[in-house]
Amino acid sequence: MIIADCHLHSEFSSDSEAPVTAMLEQALMHNMKYFYLTDHHDIDFPPEAANGLTFLLDTDKYLERLKELKEHYAGRIEVRYGVELGLMSHITDKLYAYTEKYPFDFIIGSSHLVRGIDPYYPEYYEGRSEIEAYREYFQSIDDNVHAFHDYDVYGHLDYVVRYGPTKNANWNFKDYADIFESLLKKIIADGKGIEINTAGLYKGLGYPHPHKDILMMYKELGGEIITIGSDAHTPENFAYGFDTVEALLSSCGFRYYCIYKDRKPEYLPI
């Protein structure tokens, strides 16, 4: 049984209105032992890139609220402090200053912008092939992991595929294998991990992020650290599709998944 949903959003994220307590109550309903909130913090996210949303987290207020809830829910569920940190290779100094300032248990590194454009929007794909657009996104992840190291797992590695013109209809891992080999080797060498993000199931892909081809390469290269999260922005999507994840991981050869405390992985059997 999976005992934590390690990727969740709330009213503290610009793209969610879910009360933190509503997400916590879902965790209790699902008999979770740990609660991780990982609201968005994207430094230098241009407001024009997302219709005026800034994705800047009021981190002091956020952690103060989580501390209150940790005390209130003590004995029922353990609240741990997380964040989803938007990574870009040109802001590493700002990223390090941020991660050194706050006492997070868990940091998801993720990519939402390439050249100041979010692949969520059609303009990212204009004037080029889908393969070219996807390769640029994956190359940006490779750049990020070679420039910045203070994260714990990389989130939704193939996020771009959610929003491409044909999504995954024309997916062929061979078109991107060279980039994934480079970035996965770096993630593994740095002692970092990746996540199973089940949002792919409710975003129309039919499988969790990342694609099984990517999971298999990660395992073959020696990757062991895997966290599991729904990326839920509403209570209804909490732990979405978790009933399929254990079989997926087992089929790829994984025997454990991880949760984090004080930025250190704890291995739990599947």
Per-residue model confidence as pLDDT tens digits over 48-79: 666 767 789 999 999 999 999 999 999 999 99
- Given this model, what pLDDT does residue 54 score? 78
Number of neighbours of residue 110 by Cβ within 10 angstroms: 25
Number of domains the chain contains: 1
Q: Cα–Cα–Cα angle for 69, 73, 78, nearest 5°?
A: 90
* Gap between the Cα atoms of 238 and 91, Å rounded: 31
Confidence category of residue 255, pLDDT binned at 50, 70, 90: very high
Q: Can you say whether the dihedral through the CA atoms of 222, 154, 178, 146 is positive or negative?
A: negative
Please report whether residue 112 resides in a domain: yes
**Amino acid occupying residue 86:** G
* 3-class secondary structure per residue, the chain: CCCCCCCECCCCCCCCCCCHHHHHHHHHHCCCCEEEECCEECCCCCHHHHCCCCCCCCHHHHHHHHHHHHHHCCCCCEEEEEEEEECCHHHHHHHHHHHHHCCCCEEEEECCCECCECCCCHHHHCCCCHHHHHHHHHHHHHHHHHHCCCCCEECCCCHHHHCCCCCCCCCCHHHCHHHHHHHHHHHHHCCCEEEEECHHHHCCCCCCECCHHHHHHHHHCCCCCEEEECCECCHHHCCCCHHHHHHHHHHCCCCEEEEEECCEEEEEEC
- Given this model, what pLDDT does residue 52 score? 66
- Given this model, what pLDDT does residue 50 score? 64
pLDDT over 70, % of the chain: 98
CATH number at residue 126: 3.20.20.140
Show the domain range for 43: 20-269
In this structure, of 51-55, 103-107, 132-136, the range with the lowest mean pLDDT score is 51-55
What are 158-182's pLDDT values in tens digits?
Answer: 999 999 999 999 999 999 999 999 9
Please report whether residue 172 resides in a domain: yes
133 with 97: CB under 8 angstroms?
no
Whether pLDDT at 227 is above 90: yes
Please report whether residue 110 resides in a domain: yes
Please report whether residue 142 resides in a domain: yes
Please report whether residue 14 resides in a domain: no
Whether pLDDT at 124 is above 80: yes
Please report whether residue 9 resides in a domain: no
Burial of 144 (0-12, 13-18, 19+ CB in 10 A): buried
- Phi and psi angles of residue 266, each rounded to the nearest 5 degrees, phi first: -115, 125
53 with 42: CB under 8 angstroms?
no
Please report whether residue 263 resides in a domain: yes
Taking residues 177-203, report their average pLDDT.
Answer: 98
Please report whether residue 13 resides in a domain: no
